[in-house]
Structure 1
Amino acid sequence: MSSRTARAPAKTQKQGKNELSTDLYEQPGHLIRRAHQISVSMFHEVLGPDITPVQYAALRILQDHPDIDQVTLARYCALDNSTTANMAVRLEEKGLVERVTPPENKRVRLLRLSKQGAELLESLVPSVHELRRRMLQTLSQAEQETFLALLSKFVHINNEKSRAPLRRQEIA
Structure 2
Amino acid sequence: MPAPQDDSLDIDLYDQPGHLIRRAQQIAVSIFHDALGRDVTPVQYAILRMLQERPGIDQVTLAQEVALDTSTAAEIAVRLEAKGWIVRELLPRRQRRLVLTPAGEEMLARLVPGVHELQARLFEGFEAQEQQDFMRLLRKFVHLNNEQSRAPLRRAVVDPAAGS
Contiguous gaps of at least 5 residues in structure 2: 159-164
1:99-133, CA deviations, whole angstroms, 9 ceiling, x for partnerless residues?
1124xx16121101011001111111121111101
Unmatched tracts of structure 1, length 5 or more: 1-17
Stretches of 4+ moved more than 3 A in 1? Answer: 18-21
- Quote the offset at 1:171 in angstroms: 4.0
- Identity fraction in percent: 57
Name the CA distance, whole Å, in 2 between partners of 1:37 and 1:19: 30
Q: Given the two structures, how large is their TM-score scaled by the length of structure 2? A: 0.88
Q: Larger C-alpha radius of gyration, 1 or 2?
A: 1
Partner residue in 1 for 2:153: 166
Aligned partner of 1:112 among 94, 99, 105: 99
The residue that corresponds to 1:12 in the other structure is none
Amino acid in the other structure paired with 1:155 = V
Query: Does residue 111 of structure 2 align to residue 124 of structure 1?
Result: yes
Which position in structure 2 is the counterpart of 1:154?
141
What count of residue pairs does the alignment treat as equivalent? 152
The 5 A counterparts of 1:9-158 are 22-102=11-91, 105=92, 107-158=94-145
Higher relative contact order (CA 8 A, sep 6+): 2
Verify the 8 A CA contact 1:76 1:171 in the aligned structure 2: no
Contact 1:99 1:112 in 2 (8 A): yes
Q: Which residue type is aligned with residue 23 of structure 1?
A: D
Distance in 2 (alpha carbons) for counterparts of 1:171 and 1:58: 18
RMSD: 1.7
Pick which of 36-45 and 156-165 moved more: 156-165
**Any idea what SS the aligned residue of 1:98 has?**
strand
TM-score normalised over the length of structure 1: 0.84
